[in-house]
Structure 1
């Protein structure tokens, strides 16, 4: 029995539908699903408490010794990065932002925000600018408040924070909360590197062995391909975990985060992951 972690977000339930529901030949393996939000999965992986799991690419920086990054099942792409948002009423002026809600300290979104702010500090602190060697000093002037990703838009709307870092389907619904975009961090990353955005991926414990890991990788690929062919069959399973979302938002979410990189990250996906890890180290 192999513990398998993935999030309740539509892209993950779409990816793992066929595997979890045994719509494909599991080739002698069996899986025990662990369905949690991605930051919880990051923390479980840090504790080495799950065999195979979805994680943020940021978290992989700390997991390279014990886990292998799989080529299938990840969330890489273009035009799908996290957004920094604030209340619409303030968009005509440059704010001195101090409190920012984030979806978790190990999320790729948070790493991208830190990388972005290190080179764009004047965007949110109009009265001062920090030289590159004082990035750490600048970041210490901000308060990052971690909370579940689906609570962030309410926190910004209710002015509990000055801005929020939103991910997943929130990029389709933030207008409904009276929020406006300050920055698209995915767009910044693509212009900065020319590479796709490495948001999340699937990792497997190296202790499972090369043969088992290769089998798991091929099963995930087969599961993705099955769902791509049988999209309508997946909807009830997806809605078990995303009941508050409309069919339109669910399929927009899937079309954005499930793509050719999900089947195989390819050479540019590898380059994107390596670049993120390099910048995280720096």
Structure 2
């Protein structure tokens, strides 16, 4: 039984639930899944709790020794992403207090690079908007579906996408969420897991309308049908099936920025940590 951790936000559910609904299966591998917020999954991966888990890309260098990086189930922003929001008309000082969704998230790392003097507190992503509205913090970074529909008393101070463009030099998508697989799994099992998860994302994308309706009917999604369609177009699409060369370059740039800023003890390259999917072909040819 392979344990899979994924977030409860719409893109992760959409990309995984083709397996739950029996549209994709395997005679050799059986999955069990649990839904947790992304920072909880990041911490769980640091502890090695799940065989496969959704993670923030910014976390990966910390777990690369024990987890391989999967090519599938990825979420990138391209012209969009998390949003730094505040009350309308509020002027932020250099040392403003901000709520972020977790210290190992990609948005937290990029925010820290752009606002080194800000005072950061970490909260569940569902609590951030309320914390800004009640004055507990001066600003907050909204992620997931929260970026689509927030209170009219709030406004966007800055897009994390713009910070990424400035830091990366532009021309690359923003790496947000990926998936990692425990290295202690047998290689043939690891390869099959990635293949099944990839099929699940492909089947989901190719049957978007049907799967979306099934998720909505079961009350698994926090947004309405129109917002779900918008959100999936952003974060669960053809680009989520398997990482492109451009997306790999973007992940490498994120790791480079983190290393140069002192977040990571060494600089790594994504392609050195993928599962060698060619193994079965070479072994059984």
Please give the range of the TM-score, normalised by the shorter of the 2 chains: 0.7 to 0.9
Higher relative contact order (CA 8 A, sep 6+): 1
State the match for 2:129 in structure 1: 153
Whether the 8 Å CA contact 2:94–2:118 is kept in 1: the answer is no
Q: Which residue of 1 aligns with 2:155?
A: 180
Deviation at 1:97, TM superposition (A): 4.6
Aligned residues of 1:9 and 1:241 also touching (Cα < 8 A): no
Aligned-partner Cα distance in 2 for 1:192–1:112: 8
CA RMSD of aligned residues (A): 1.8
**TM (normalized to structure 2)?**
0.85
Q: Which runs of 5+ in 2 are unaligned?
A: 261-285
Of residues 100, 112, 116 in structure 1, which corresponds to 2:98?
100
Whether 1:196 and 2:173 are equivalent positions in the alignment is yes
Structure 1 residue 94, shift from structure 2 partner: 5.3
Alignment match, 2:266: none
User: Which residue in the other structure is 1:281 paired with?
Assistant: 259
Structure 1 residue 15, shift from structure 2 partner: 0.2
| CA distance 1:97–1:156, shift in 2 (3 Å) | farther
The equivalent position to 1:259 in structure 2, one of 230, 233, 237, is 237
CA distance in 2, matches of 1:50, 1:277: 23
CA contact (8 A) 1:68 1:204 kept: yes
Q: Does 1:219 align with 2:196?
A: yes
Q: Contact 2:101–2:123 (CA<8 Å) still a contact in 1?
A: yes
Find out whether 1:207 has 2:184 as its counterpart.
Answer: yes
Matched residues, number:
257
Q: CA deviation at 1:89?
A: 3.0
Q: CA deviation at 1:261?
A: 2.5
Distance 1:205 1:254, change over 3 A: same
Q: Is the 8 A contact 1:153 1:177 kept in 2?
A: no
Please tell me whether the aligned partners of residues 76 and 265 of structure 1 are also in contact (alpha carbons under 8 angstroms): no
Return 5+ residue gaps in structure 1 as ranges.
118-138
Q: Is the 8 A contact 2:205 2:237 kept in 1?
A: no
- The structure whose residues are more often helix, as a share, is 1
